[in-house]
Chain A
Amino acid sequence: MKRKARFSLPSKYLLLIVTFFCVAMIFITFTTDLATGPFKVISGYVFIPIQNGINYIGTSLTGKAEQLQNLQDLMDKNIKLQAMVDELTIENSALQQDKYELARLRELYKLDETYPSYNKVAARIIGKDPGNWFSTFTIDKGSNEGFKVDNNVIAGSGLVGIITEVGPNWSTVRAIIDDSSNVSAMILSTSDRCIITGDLKLMSQGMIQFSQLNDQDNLVNVGDKVVTSNISDKYLQGILIGYISEKTTDANNLTSSGYVTPVVDFEHLQEVLVITDLKE
């Protein structure tokens, strides 16, 4: 009987070696941004096509089922929406008048446009964080489309999150409802600044927390719009986050905190827009 003289490492030494390797990697990636590049490229080309495929099948199946279910629903909705269209047309014309007035006034004061039109690229969500603790997700475009770390991500009219990692054909987005997310925000009506923090406990209720709002005159009310602030160094100014749904004064009697209902429906999110401009 032939036996190959193969060197075989006992498992406890292997464990020790790999542990050292992991700890070293944790330190390296924690302090620098090295060594992750090749992994991202290779894994991107292996996993992203598979996830794309699964998603394609999944969405086409659910799409068919929903189509049948929703027919009656849609007919009812159509009647309601038609009424709303009429209402909004009137409102729109009034607003358009205001807009022309605003443009004139801006010209007079030679103000820059507050909200410049950003470059946006649409991307599809193809995977979510495999655990249950955080809410990050992968989208199907990356540095090939010009995405960079810290690009803001929006959906519809509201803020979704920020890009934390970029591969050639994928990027990871951390949602603002994620437990480790913090956004510098301000109340639109009073320009008071606050901090918006995601919280795992509030995730199932679809809410996020705000804190450190300096509002001694009690001018901020429930229902006020919350947007990203002008002093944030990563989030572009003036992106809508949500509406205040609850507000209480803190024990120190100086600041207030409470809850914000985000405008984005994070549970049913499928497509997002990535703003490819970075905040300078």
Chain B
Amino acid sequence: MNRKIVVTLLVIVCFCFQCTLFKALSMAYITPNLLIVVTSSFGFMRGKKEGLIIGFFCGFLIDIFYGDVLGFYALIYMYIGYVNGFFNKLFYDEDIKLPIVLITISDLIYGLIIYVFLFLLRSRFDFGYYFVHIILPEVVYTVVVTIVLYRIIRAINRKLESHEKRSASKFV
């Protein structure tokens, strides 16, 4: 129960910051993708199911406010969260290399999916331009933000996990 409230708050704060603060801090019209960081980190920290659910809600928020159709972004984020869940077995708490690699790949794939579905299908064929000017800068900026944001998410997750352990041990 506790976890649900904390994670919901985290998603809301990240969404609002991405729409306001980071838009103001954007460099060359590029903003980092905080929601990918949240989705993907909970995916590999907590497993497929939690990644899936958090991804779904992150995407759904974008759909409600900015999407043309409801469910498109939700679908993308959900699968990213789910696939990240497969790396739960490789993940151990102290390592920062795996999270960075996974978040980089997630954001790259996210960019490619958006390009294919929302640009390529409207006959915008200049992939090179979009890759160099939109997708790559977003990945770089997201990784920079990840270095800070991931630590915060990890700290929150540790707190929650120790809290859950304590309340579980009361029943033993």
Contact residues in B for A234 (Cβ distance below 8 Å): none
Q: Does B24 contact A (CB under 8 A)?
A: yes
Chain A interface, >50% SS class: helix
Contact between A18 and B78, CB atoms less than 8 A apart:
yes
- Type the 1/0 row for B122-133, where 1 means its CB is closer than 8 Å to any CB of A: 101010011001
Among B12, B78, B134, contact of A200 (Cβ-Cβ < 8 Å):
B134
Contact between A179 and B119, CB atoms less than 8 A apart:
yes
Stretch of A36-44, A223-231, A235-243 at the chain-chain interface: A36-44
C-alpha gap A172/B126 in the complex (Å): 28
Contact between B23 and A128, CB atoms less than 8 A apart:
yes
Q: Does A180 contact B (CB under 8 A)?
A: yes
Chain B proximity of A192: nearest CB distance (Å): 26
Q: Does A26 contact B (CB under 8 A)?
A: yes
16 residue pairs of the A-B complex, CB under 8 angstroms, read A1-B171, A11-B49, A14-B52, A18-B56, A19-B75, A25-B70, A29-B69, A46-B12, A58-B20, A58-B24, A127-B16, A129-B19, A130-B35, A133-B118, A200-B124, A204-B28
C-alpha gap A46/B57 in the complex (Å): 14
Among A2, A15, A51, contact of B16 (Cβ-Cβ < 8 Å):
A51
Known: A2-B171, A132-B29, A200-B134. A11 touches B69 (CB 8 A): no
C-alpha gap A1/B171 in the complex (Å): 7
Number of residues on chain A facing chain B (CB within 8 A): 50
Chain B proximity of A69: nearest CB distance (Å): 16
Report the contact-size class of chain B (Cβ under 8 Å from the partner). Answer: 35 or more
Contacting A at CB under 8 A, from B82-123, are 82, 85, 114-115, 118-119, 122
Contact between B75 and A22, CB atoms less than 8 A apart:
yes
C-alpha gap A35/B64 in the complex (Å): 11
Known: A11-B48, A58-B21. A133 touches B31 (CB 8 A): no
